[in-house]
Structure 1
Amino acid sequence: MKQLLISTLLAVTAGAWAQAPAAHVDVKDAWVRATVAQQKATGAFMQLTARTDTRVVEVSSPIAGVVQIHEMAMDKDVMRMRELSTGLPLPAGKPVELKPGGYHVMLMDLKGQVKAGDVVPVTLVLEGKDGQRSTLEVKATARALNAKAPSAAAAPAEAHGKHKH
């Protein structure tokens, strides 16, 4: 009886896992701008390419009290930053660049200084057209304040997707 119960539980678990969509988003060159002591905010940048139409609906990181997706845009000759309250669309097959002066992840209420070389975990919550959500864990390396944006030939960032229940 015990063996039957274990087999049934394994079959149900495997079936549910097989139906869970993986995060179908590729991440390239994830990085965070290093900070100076007492600085309370910084940005995270990367290139995201979704295999199917997807939207980033939430972001978080253990290094910050508040994490949001922001956009820098011109408004009557003034550059303004605003939160994307409905999330960031990732059209299938089209790279979306999160970079200084454009879309970016804003890390606010920092819990400590981010030093060059630190690896910063950032979790992206993705939502497909069907409303199904999954998470993507990104490891972003901190770069010095004066570091230039990386070349397009940079190596892909480390990212791991998992289904959120």
Structure 2
Amino acid sequence: MIPHIARPALLIAALTGLAACSPASQPQNDADAAPAVAAADAWCRPSPNGARAGACYVVLTAATDDRLTGGSTPRAGTLQVHEMKTENGMMTMREMAQGLPLPAGEPVALAPGGAHLMLMDLTAPLIAGETLPLTLDFADAAPVTVQAKVRQPAMAGVDQGAH
């Protein structure tokens, strides 16, 4: 006969053993289940002293249809997805509240004059030559962290490869 106190311990041990033998109902971690987004050519514009905002750019390619929804960086209070648009003959900038669509397999370039990452409430100016981490968030894919170099934009028609 098993003592009254040992019965719950045996039941717990048996159930634990059964749980260990059963297949996992969920992936081991979110990264295994989330579709991937590749990021390339991340960079930010230098910001003037006293500026509270800065702009960064990157090329994103999603494995499946997804959306860039925002992100974070230790260098700013907020990282938002913004776009430049011409409305009534005036260039305007606004947050893309629903995020930026990323069609499967198609590179999407965040670039000056279009969609970009807006860093709000900078902790310090963005200085040419430094690198800062940007963690990008997506509707479906796992977050991606890139290292963005702070530099001046390349001039149109000028090959900067030798510089």
TM category (shorter chain) comes to: 0.7 to 0.9
CA deviation string 1:17-64 (max 9, x = no partner): 387324511112100011222121110001111111011122111101
* Structure 2 residue 147 is matched with structure 1 residue 135: no
Q: Scaled by the length of structure 2, what TM-score is found? A: 0.75
Task: Indicate the residue corresponding to 1:160 in structure 2.
Answer: none
CA deviation string 1:70-119 (max 9, x = no partner): 01011011111010001111000111110110000001111001111111
Task: Indicate the SS of the match to 1:20.
Answer: helix
Q: Which runs of 5+ in 1 are unaligned?
A: 155-165
1:45 and 1:98 in contact (8 A); partners too: yes
Stretches of 4+ moved more than 6 A in 1?
none
Task: Indicate the SS of the match to 1:148.
Answer: coil
CA RMSD after TM alignment = 2.9
Task: Indicate the residue corresponding to 2:154 in structure 1.
Answer: 148
Task: Indicate the residue corresponding to 1:162 in structure 2.
Answer: none
**Displacement of 1:126 after TM fit?**
1.3
Q: Which runs of 5+ in 2 are unaligned?
A: 1-12
Q: Are the structure 2 counterparts of residues 125 and 150 from structure 1 closer, same or farther at C-alpha, using a change threshold of 3 Å? A: farther
Task: Indicate the SS of the match to 1:86.
Answer: coil
Task: Indicate the residue corresponding to 1:67 in structure 2.
Answer: 79
Task: Indicate the residue corresponding to 2:109 in structure 1.
Answer: 97
User: Whose Rg is larger?
Assistant: 2
Quote the sequence identity (%). 37
